[in-house]
Amino acid sequence: MKKELHPLVQLARQAVETYVRTGKVIRPAELTPEMKKRAGVFVTLKKHGQLRGCIGTFEPMEANIAEEIVRNGISSAVADPRFPPVQPSELDELEYSVDVLTPPEPVADKSQLDPKKYGLIVKSGFRRGLLLPDLEGVDDVETQIDICRQKAGIMRSEPIEMFRFQVKRYK
């Protein structure tokens, strides 16, 4: 028996399945109070426990969380440069999670970080790298910072600004 999905996860699934099958972008109809807020959102797709797509925004780009989920869900399925676009034959194998982010706050030093509790954004000039919290294999602050630097193309010798955020994760 499949467990009941949270409304945010149901919306992500509906957006991805509709787009992959028909090329159409859904318009969220009935919004829960949570969907009406504005926040950065990441949508993660996994297939057989392996990452299949993950795209998001760390600051809101759309009018509300619902529209953010639709946009980022579709992008995760068809525009993540690490993977080929999701095919209709894969849709039944996908697992979805939606992370709603708190606004990023500046961090003075590494002592204010915790990779299980906080996501991290590192910034140097116009380059930014982001890593969500509580990811498998990311158990210490140094690993978290290194991955963010790699994502942004920031060398270890370059100074960085750091920002932390928390997420509410829905599966």
Distance of CA 110 to the CA centre of its chain: 23
What domains are there in the chain, each with its CATH number? 7-101 (3.30.700.20), 105-170 (3.30.1490.150)
Q: 2: pLDDT confidence band, cut at 50, 70 and 90?
A: low
pLDDT average, residue stretch 18-24: 98
pLDDT at 3 over 80: no
Model pLDDT for residues 120-162, shown as the tens digit of each residue = 999 999 999 999 999 989 999 999 999 999 999 999 999 999 9
Which string of DSSP letters, residue by residue, matches the chain?
-PPPPPHHHHHHHHHHHHHHHHSPPP---SPPHHHHS---EEEEEEETTEEEEEEE-SS--SSSHHHHHHHHHHHHHHT-TTSPPPPGGGGGGEEEEEEEEPPPEEESSGGG--TTT-EEEEEETTEEEEE-SS-TT--SHHHHHHHHHHHHT--TTS--EEEEE-EEEE-
The pLDDT of residue 10: 96
The pLDDT of residue 29: 85
pTM: 0.92
pLDDT at 4 over 90: no
pLDDT at 1 over 60: no
The pLDDT of residue 6: 94
Model pLDDT for residues 56-101, shown as the tens digit of each residue = 999 999 999 999 999 999 999 999 999 999 999 999 999 999 999 9
